Amino acid sequence: MISDIISTLFTKFPLVGAIGAVALILLVSYWFANVIGQKRMGSAIAIVVALILAFIAGKFTDGSKGVSDITYFSGFALLGGSMLRDFAIISTAFGAKLENLKKAGLPGIVSLLLGVTFSFVVGSVIAYVMGYHDAVDVATIGAGTVTFIVGPVTGTALGASSEVIALSIAAGVVKSVLTMIITPFIAKAIKLDNPTTAMVYGGLIGTTSGVAGGLAATDPKLVPYGAMTATFYTGLGSLVCPSLGYMVLKIFL
């Protein structure tokens, strides 16, 4: 009887169950990030944990929709679906000031344009070399190399498969984590010691969590400068990758 009631709870309130489960994932991930002394890696760790859970669920159920194939966790499909995802992403643009972009000036704008283009091209070329020859797949993986948000946004827009979208998220997460880890070591070599280069750095790398984490480990004073340009990166990527990026790829493929 008790177990019946419990399974009723999960099937009656799927969205609430998913919110609770995600809260738990984040709690454990941030706790782990604290233990290893990398506070800002919490969200990247949580994404990796979720990808691992999706892997386990996929092995277990033979399904293609990760943990949402398990009846108890079907709410994940609502919480992580494209509707709420896009709704939340758009809200993050709030607070970005136009003056700030003007303040970042020419190097800021050049770094944003070059940063998105460079990552998209590198990701696309590697995807092509490693066996993906369909323009939609190549564009999605290239967009994932921009950030782990631009990948799924592009993939959903162009109708890519979940497998390719998962790859694009993974590429973005690799970029984010790698940025946090190697920035402090490479800071001197790339002259990352003043507001201008910090803004350029934010515009070139773009993954907000990676940039903020990497700069915090280098010099906390530089964080707002890097974060300022990085805020525009995902927006620019979501605008350019599924439209212009895809069209250009379509010419070659």
Partner 1 sequence: MEIYGLGIVAFCMYIGSFIGYFIGEALGISGNVGGVGFAMLLLILLSNYVDKKRGGWSERTKNGIYLLSALYIPIVVAMAGIQNVVAAFSGGAIAFVAGGVATIGSMFLVPVIGKLGSKKLEE
Segment 26-55, which members bind partner 1 (CB under 8 A)?
26, 43, 46-47, 49-55
Which whole-number Å values give the CA distances from 26 to 30, 208, 223, in the listed order?
6, 18, 23
Residue 111 or 223 with smaller CB distance to partner 1 = 111
Determine if 251 is a binding residue for partner 1 (CB under 8 A).
no
Please name which of 249, 242, 245 lies closest in space to residue 134, comparing C-alpha atoms: 249
Among 14, 33, 148, 227, binds partner 1 (CB under 8 A): 148
- Site residues for partner 1, 120-139, by CB under 8 A, read 122-123, 126-127, 130-132
Q: Which stretch binds partner 1 (CB under 8 A): 6-14, 33-41, 146-154, 217-225?
A: 146-154
Q: Tell me which residue has tokens 């019946």.
A: 4
Burial class, 252, CB count within 10 angstroms (exposed 0-12 / middle 13-18 / buried 19+): exposed
Measured from the Cβ of residue 65, the count of other Cβ atoms closer than 10 Å reads 15
Q: Could you report how far apart the first and last alpha carbons of the chain are, in Å?
A: 59
> Which element (helix H / strand E) includes 34?
helix 14-35
Q: Nearest CA to 205 among 155, 148, 249, 248?
A: 148
Contact between 248 and partner 1 by CB under 8 A: the answer reads no
- Report the nearest approach of partner 1 to the CB of residue 1 (Å): 30
Q: In angstroms, what is the minimal distance from the CB of 119 to partner 1?
A: 4
Beta carbon of residue 2, minimum distance to partner 1 (angstroms, whole number): 27
Restricted to residues 210-229, the positions that interact with partner 1 (CB under 8 A) are: none
Q: How far is CA 142 from CA 127, 139, 238, in A?
A: 7, 5, 12
Distance of closest approach, residue 183 Cβ to partner 1, in angstroms = 8
Stretch that binds partner 1, among 4-12, 31-39, 141-149, 215-223 (CB under 8 A): 141-149
Q: Which is nearer to partner 1, 12 or 59 (CB)?
A: 59
Residue with tokens 């099937």: 11
Compute φ and ψ for 54, nearest 5 degrees: -65, -35
Please name which of 180, 242, 212, 188 lies closest in space to residue 48, comparing C-alpha atoms: 180
Asked if 246 touches partner 1 (CB under 8 A), the answer is yes
The answer to whether residue 153 forms part of the interface with partner 1 (CB under 8 A) is: yes
User: Pick from 178, 217, 248, 253: which binds partner 1 (CB under 8 A)?
Assistant: 178
List binders of partner 1 among 55-114 (CB under 8 A): 55, 58-59, 64-68, 73, 76-77, 79-81, 84-98, 105-107, 110-111, 114
